[in-house]
Amino acid sequence: MLPIPMSAPLTSSIAALAGALAVGVLIGLERGWREREGAAGSRVAGLRTFALFGFLGGVLGALRESLGPWPVAAGLAGLSLLTTVSYREGVRIHGNLSATTAVAALMTYALGALAGVGQPAIAVGAAVMVAMLLDLRPTLHRWLRLVQHRELSAALQLLVLSLVVLPLLPDAGYGPYGALNPYRLWWAVVLIAGLSLCGDIAIRFTGPQRGIFWTGVLGGLASSTAATLTLSRRARSGPALAHAAAAGILAACAMMFFRMTVVVLSLQPALAWSLGPPMVGAAVALLGMGLWQWKRQTSGDVAADADAVAGFDLSTALGFGAFLGVMMVVTRASRQWLGDPGIYAVATLSGLADVDAITITVLQMQAAGNLAVIATGAAIGIAAVSNMVTKASIAALIGGASVGRPVVVGYVLSIVVGVGVAAAMALL
């Protein structure tokens, strides 16, 4: 006897109900396992009950076409009443204030209803995410205990900058020479602030016995100049730390070049091939020199306090934005009145304090078609060299000759490597 083929509506209804049941089973597995040690009848809901919650949502959702949304609404109201009573009794008997199981029950019903109205794949995928989130409870709580308030505050501020303010800004040029683009200006602020926050968090999570070398590596994500100043002061207070401090300073400058590469990739990916390899080459040379210098120190894993390296805060981010806006106007004016030499002069002065602002400025000018690729690369290189002169001066004047000498040698080597890579690429 031949099997009777099922109609398409019947097949979709079976798939919807199966998805609703799968939703309940997935979430019920996690809840049941979590409370598996409890005596029978002492749990508000386990595997079977959650499976029924999901299946109930699927059945009532399937009735939407014939009866409208009222069955789903009535089921939600009834389940809400049931979970409220169960939660109250749990608090009274066991003193347990956690509402996780009650909320999970409502979520199971809602996802079952979603499957019932014809979206079983989405419902089951969401149920997997819910079960995973419930299972990660110990991990999430451990993370919360590790997070400091200043890091939480910085992360929330960064979210406001990127998810609230940034989408509201127009992507068009304003002000003198049309140089001020609010959207791109704010995106640059978010990018640099995010890198600084990552460096600040990474420094703390290396542990209380982090070495000076790692102070430079991680501090360079936030500010290589600040890291140089911090390590130079430490070497001055403890001359035995000179080799380690020089290693950290070289590593911090290497991270500056890596950070600049990330900025190029984020703002102008088309220049990644022409600007990326020279900067990466310089960074690798600096890291190599830093590691070699680190091996010369004989005091073991000397602990260093990296808290003095500045991380993310809102005032710093806004100050950077204001400085970047000024640099955009000044650079555009110099380009119009003096040509490329004007940009190089601005890059030299700007690089004495910071490389990010001039880097972002010339990248955006190049993206707008106002600056050639060669001039863009030259301006970024000049700013980097100018900044390295500042840091080498800090290392020599504050840390002494034993710190300044290897730093200068490492900087010169990195410049030679970067220029060599750029020349080799130009010949290709």
Are 403 and 270 spatial neighbours (Cβ–Cβ below 8 Å)? no
* Intra-chain end-to-end CA distance of the chain, in Å: 74
- Buried-state track 133-149, b at ≥16 Cβ within 10 A, e below 16: ebeeeeeeeeeeeeeee
Extents of the domains making up the chain: 8-142, 149-427
What are φ and ψ of residue 97, in 5° steps?
-90, 0
The span from the CA of 400 to the CA of 410, in Å, is 16
The span from the CA of 426 to the CA of 428, in Å, is 6
Please report which helix (H) or strand (E) contains residue 262, including its range: helix 242-267
Encode the chain (428 residues) as per-residue pLDDT tens digits. 445 455 556 677 788 888 888 988 888 888 777 766 555 555 556 778 888 888 988 899 888 878 888 888 888 888 888 888 876 776 676 666 667 778 888 888 899 999 888 888 898 998 899 888 888 877 777 777 777 777 777 778 878 888 888 888 887 777 776 667 788 778 767 766 675 666 566 556 654 345 567 767 877 776 777 678 767 877 776 677 778 788 888 998 999 899 889 888 888 888 888 888 889 999 999 999 988 887 775 544 444 444 444 445 567 667 666 766 776 677 666 656 666 677 788 788 777 767 877 788 888 888 877 778 888 888 888 888 988 988 898 889 888 888 889 999 999 999 999 889 988 887 77
Are 201 and 184 spatial neighbours (Cβ–Cβ below 8 Å)? no
> How big is the chain, counted in residues?
428
State the helix-helix crossing angle for 242-267 and 401-427, rounded to 10 degrees: 30
